Amino acid sequence: MSSPPIIAFDLEGVFLPEIWIAVAERTGLPALRRTTRDEPDYDRLMRERMEILERHGLTLADIQQVIAGMEPLPGAVEFLHWVRQRAQMVILTDSFYEFVAPFLPKLGWPTVFAHTLEVDARGMLTGYRLRIPDGKRKAVEALRDLGFRTAAVGDSYNDTTMLAAADQGILFRPPQNVVQDFPHFPVARTYDELRRELERFLCEIAEIA
Protein backbone atom coordinates (compact mmCIF):
# COMPACT_ATOMS: atom_id res chain seq x y z
CA MET A 1 0.00 0.00 0.00
CA SER A 2 1.35 3.45 -0.91
CA SER A 3 1.83 6.25 1.61
CA PRO A 4 -1.31 8.36 2.11
CA PRO A 5 -1.25 11.90 0.72
CA ILE A 6 -1.39 15.11 2.73
CA ILE A 7 -1.36 18.62 1.32
CA ALA A 8 0.15 21.60 3.16
CA PHE A 9 -1.04 25.07 2.20
CA ASP A 10 0.08 28.57 2.98
CA LEU A 11 -2.82 30.80 4.08
CA GLU A 12 -2.50 34.40 2.93
CA GLY A 13 -2.32 34.67 -0.84
CA VAL A 14 -3.71 31.14 -1.19
CA PHE A 15 -7.01 31.25 0.71
CA LEU A 16 -7.03 34.77 2.18
CA PRO A 17 -6.11 38.24 0.96
CA GLU A 18 -2.85 39.55 2.41
CA ILE A 19 -3.78 40.91 5.83
CA TRP A 20 -0.99 43.48 5.99
CA ILE A 21 -1.91 44.87 2.58
CA ALA A 22 -5.49 45.29 3.78
CA VAL A 23 -4.21 47.11 6.88
CA ALA A 24 -2.04 49.34 4.69
CA GLU A 25 -5.00 50.27 2.51
CA ARG A 26 -7.29 50.95 5.49
CA THR A 27 -4.72 53.05 7.37
CA GLY A 28 -3.14 54.83 4.40
CA LEU A 29 0.33 53.54 5.33
CA PRO A 30 1.85 52.12 2.12
CA ALA A 31 4.97 50.89 3.93
CA LEU A 32 2.80 48.16 5.48
CA ARG A 33 2.17 46.70 2.02
CA ARG A 34 5.50 44.87 2.14
CA THR A 35 5.01 41.14 2.67
CA THR A 36 7.06 37.96 2.40
CA ARG A 37 6.45 38.24 -1.34
CA ASP A 38 8.86 41.20 -1.22
CA GLU A 39 11.13 40.55 1.78
CA PRO A 40 12.73 37.12 2.33
CA ASP A 41 13.91 38.03 5.87
CA TYR A 42 10.81 37.46 8.02
CA ASP A 43 12.26 38.90 11.23
CA ARG A 44 13.35 42.10 9.47
CA LEU A 45 9.88 42.43 7.94
CA MET A 46 8.11 41.99 11.29
CA ARG A 47 10.42 44.47 13.03
CA GLU A 48 9.68 47.03 10.33
CA ARG A 49 5.95 46.46 10.73
CA MET A 50 6.03 46.85 14.50
CA GLU A 51 8.05 50.07 14.22
CA ILE A 52 5.47 51.51 11.82
CA LEU A 53 2.58 50.51 14.08
CA GLU A 54 4.30 52.04 17.12
CA ARG A 55 5.07 55.26 15.26
CA HIS A 56 1.44 55.68 14.23
CA GLY A 57 -0.14 54.36 17.44
CA LEU A 58 -1.91 51.42 15.79
CA THR A 59 -2.90 48.62 18.15
CA LEU A 60 -3.75 44.94 17.74
CA ALA A 61 -7.41 45.92 18.07
CA ASP A 62 -7.03 48.30 15.11
CA ILE A 63 -5.63 45.46 12.99
CA GLN A 64 -8.33 43.06 14.14
CA GLN A 65 -10.97 45.60 13.15
CA VAL A 66 -9.62 45.52 9.60
CA ILE A 67 -9.53 41.71 9.66
CA ALA A 68 -13.17 41.54 10.80
CA GLY A 69 -14.25 43.03 7.48
CA MET A 70 -12.20 40.66 5.32
CA GLU A 71 -13.43 37.53 3.52
CA PRO A 72 -11.67 34.51 1.97
CA LEU A 73 -10.56 34.87 -1.63
CA PRO A 74 -13.25 34.16 -4.24
CA GLY A 75 -13.39 30.43 -4.84
CA ALA A 76 -11.29 29.53 -1.78
CA VAL A 77 -14.08 27.86 0.22
CA GLU A 78 -15.19 25.75 -2.76
CA PHE A 79 -11.60 24.75 -3.47
CA LEU A 80 -11.05 23.72 0.15
CA HIS A 81 -14.17 21.54 -0.06
CA TRP A 82 -12.73 19.87 -3.16
CA VAL A 83 -9.41 19.20 -1.40
CA ARG A 84 -11.01 17.71 1.71
CA GLN A 85 -12.85 15.15 -0.42
CA ARG A 86 -9.55 13.87 -1.80
CA ALA A 87 -6.81 14.16 0.80
CA GLN A 88 -5.85 15.21 4.30
CA MET A 89 -4.70 18.83 4.53
CA VAL A 90 -3.08 21.30 6.92
CA ILE A 91 -2.49 25.05 6.73
CA LEU A 92 1.02 26.22 7.64
CA THR A 93 1.19 29.99 8.01
CA ASP A 94 3.66 32.57 9.27
CA SER A 95 0.72 34.69 10.35
CA PHE A 96 -0.58 34.69 13.92
CA TYR A 97 -3.50 33.06 15.71
CA GLU A 98 -4.60 36.55 16.82
CA PHE A 99 -5.03 37.44 13.14
CA VAL A 100 -6.36 34.26 11.58
CA ALA A 101 -8.87 33.12 14.22
CA PRO A 102 -11.81 35.07 12.68
CA PHE A 103 -11.26 33.29 9.36
CA LEU A 104 -11.41 29.73 10.70
CA PRO A 105 -15.22 29.35 10.70
CA LYS A 106 -15.35 30.96 7.25
CA LEU A 107 -12.92 28.30 5.97
CA GLY A 108 -14.67 25.38 7.67
CA TRP A 109 -12.35 25.14 10.69
CA PRO A 110 -9.19 23.79 9.02
CA THR A 111 -6.17 22.71 11.04
CA VAL A 112 -3.83 25.72 11.17
CA PHE A 113 -0.28 25.99 12.49
CA ALA A 114 0.42 29.69 13.16
CA HIS A 115 2.53 31.83 15.50
CA THR A 116 1.59 34.09 18.43
CA LEU A 117 1.99 37.82 19.07
CA GLU A 118 3.35 39.65 22.09
CA VAL A 119 1.19 42.62 23.08
CA ASP A 120 1.75 45.17 25.86
CA ALA A 121 -0.79 46.80 28.19
CA ARG A 122 -1.53 49.47 25.57
CA GLY A 123 -2.47 46.83 23.02
CA MET A 124 0.64 47.56 20.95
CA LEU A 125 2.56 44.77 19.22
CA THR A 126 5.95 44.41 20.91
CA GLY A 127 7.14 41.10 19.52
CA TYR A 128 6.17 37.68 18.28
CA ARG A 129 6.86 34.06 19.17
CA LEU A 130 7.55 31.50 16.49
CA ARG A 131 6.50 27.96 17.28
CA ILE A 132 9.84 26.93 15.78
CA PRO A 133 12.16 28.60 13.23
CA ASP A 134 11.49 27.52 9.63
CA GLY A 135 8.40 25.76 10.93
CA LYS A 136 6.77 25.25 7.54
CA ARG A 137 9.68 23.20 6.23
CA LYS A 138 10.01 21.24 9.47
CA ALA A 139 6.29 20.45 9.52
CA VAL A 140 6.43 19.02 5.99
CA GLU A 141 9.57 17.04 6.81
CA ALA A 142 7.83 15.65 9.92
CA LEU A 143 4.80 14.63 7.85
CA ARG A 144 7.08 12.81 5.43
CA ASP A 145 8.81 11.09 8.36
CA LEU A 146 5.36 9.99 9.56
CA GLY A 147 4.84 8.15 6.29
CA PHE A 148 2.83 10.66 4.24
CA ARG A 149 3.38 11.65 0.63
CA THR A 150 3.36 15.43 0.71
CA ALA A 151 2.40 18.27 -1.59
CA ALA A 152 2.90 21.90 -0.53
CA VAL A 153 1.37 25.07 -1.96
CA GLY A 154 2.52 28.64 -1.32
CA ASP A 155 3.17 31.99 -2.96
CA SER A 156 6.06 33.69 -1.18
CA TYR A 157 9.75 33.46 -0.33
CA ASN A 158 8.94 32.08 3.12
CA ASP A 159 7.10 29.16 1.50
CA THR A 160 9.95 27.96 -0.69
CA THR A 161 11.70 25.76 1.90
CA MET A 162 8.35 24.07 2.56
CA LEU A 163 7.85 23.51 -1.16
CA ALA A 164 11.36 22.10 -1.51
CA ALA A 165 10.81 19.68 1.41
CA ALA A 166 7.59 18.28 -0.11
CA ASP A 167 7.35 15.50 -2.66
CA GLN A 168 5.62 18.10 -4.85
CA GLY A 169 5.91 21.86 -4.36
CA ILE A 170 3.59 24.25 -6.22
CA LEU A 171 3.64 28.05 -6.41
CA PHE A 172 0.18 29.61 -6.41
CA ARG A 173 -0.24 33.12 -7.80
CA PRO A 174 3.35 34.08 -6.92
CA PRO A 175 4.91 37.43 -7.85
CA GLN A 176 7.30 37.36 -10.77
CA ASN A 177 10.36 37.83 -8.55
CA VAL A 178 9.59 34.57 -6.72
CA VAL A 179 9.00 32.75 -10.03
CA GLN A 180 12.34 34.01 -11.35
CA ASP A 181 14.22 32.97 -8.21
CA PHE A 182 12.55 29.53 -8.03
CA PRO A 183 11.90 28.50 -11.66
CA HIS A 184 11.86 24.77 -10.84
CA PHE A 185 8.48 24.90 -9.09
CA PRO A 186 5.34 24.61 -11.24
CA VAL A 187 3.09 27.69 -11.12
CA ALA A 188 -0.71 27.74 -10.85
CA ARG A 189 -2.51 31.05 -11.39
CA THR A 190 -6.09 29.91 -10.70
CA TYR A 191 -7.80 27.36 -8.48
CA ASP A 192 -8.61 25.32 -11.59
CA GLU A 193 -4.90 25.17 -12.47
CA LEU A 194 -4.08 24.27 -8.87
CA ARG A 195 -6.65 21.45 -8.98
CA ARG A 196 -4.95 20.05 -12.06
CA GLU A 197 -1.53 20.12 -10.39
CA LEU A 198 -2.88 18.40 -7.29
CA GLU A 199 -4.82 15.85 -9.35
CA ARG A 200 -1.56 14.97 -11.08
CA PHE A 201 0.13 14.50 -7.69
CA LEU A 202 -2.74 12.36 -6.36
CA CYS A 203 -2.85 10.25 -9.54
CA GLU A 204 0.88 9.52 -9.25
CA ILE A 205 0.33 8.26 -5.71
CA ALA A 206 -2.60 6.10 -6.82
CA GLU A 207 -0.50 4.55 -9.58
CA ILE A 208 2.15 3.54 -7.05
CA ALA A 209 -0.41 1.73 -4.88
The dihedrals phi and psi of 97, each to the nearest 5 degrees, come to -55, -35
What DSSP designation does 159 have? G
Residue 100 has a CB neighbour count (10 Å cut-off) of: 22
Amino acid at position 170, single letter: I
The catalytic position among 10, 18, 94, 98 is 10
Instruction: Mark whether 10 is an active-site residue.
Output: yes
- Dump strand ranges (E) for the chain: 5-9, 88-96, 112-119, 125-129, 149-154, 168-172, 187-188
Rounded to whole angstroms, the Cα distance separating 129 from 15 reads: 23
Q: Please tell me the distance from the alpha carbon of residue 124 to that of residue 155, in angstroms, as a whole number.
A: 29
Residue 78 among the catalytic residues: no
Out of 12, 18, 155, 159, the active site residue is 12
Active site residues: 10, 12
